[in-house]
């Protein structure tokens, strides 16, 4: 059976050595500054993947002209009716 050694924690000297080693690398300082001023998911985002994303669509949906609300303040109503109108025209075989 091994003798257990009590854990004494991290000494001040060890902590200073860790900080010195971390601060010695410009990449570490750059990374630290980036994540302290921005959300981690934004900093970790791969720009290469974003720029390679193909934004073309494989399907073209039939569409009709939208009905203009003419500054009536009812855009929510008109947008909903435009969606319903397209589906109704499809169901009734209308163009």
Residue 31 predicted with pLDDT over 70: yes
The pLDDT score that the predictor gives to residue 1 is 62
Helical H runs in the chain? 12-23, 26-37, 40-43, 47-52, 75-91
Model confidence at 24, in pLDDT bands (50, 70, 90)?
very high
Residue 90 predicted with pLDDT over 80: yes
Question: Are the CB atoms for 81 and 69 separated by under 8 Å?
Answer: no
pLDDT digits (tens, 9 = 90+) for 59-86: 776 677 777 777 777 888 878 888 888 8
Query: Taking all residues of the chain, what is their mean pLDDT, rounded to a whole number?
Result: 86
pLDDT > 90: percent of the chain: 38
């Amino acid at each position: 059976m091994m003798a257990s050694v009590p854990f004494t924690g991290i000494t001040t000297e060890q902590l200073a050595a860790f900080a010195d080693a971390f601060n010695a690398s410009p990449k570490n300082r750059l990374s630290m500054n980036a994540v302290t001023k921005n959300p981690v998911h934004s900093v970790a985002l791969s720009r290469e993947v974003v720029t390679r994303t193909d934004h073309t669509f494989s399907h073209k949906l039939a569409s009709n002209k939208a009905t203009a609300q003419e500054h009536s303040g009812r855009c929510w109503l008109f947008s909903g009716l435009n969606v319903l109108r397209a589906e109704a025209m499809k169901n009734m075989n209308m163009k």
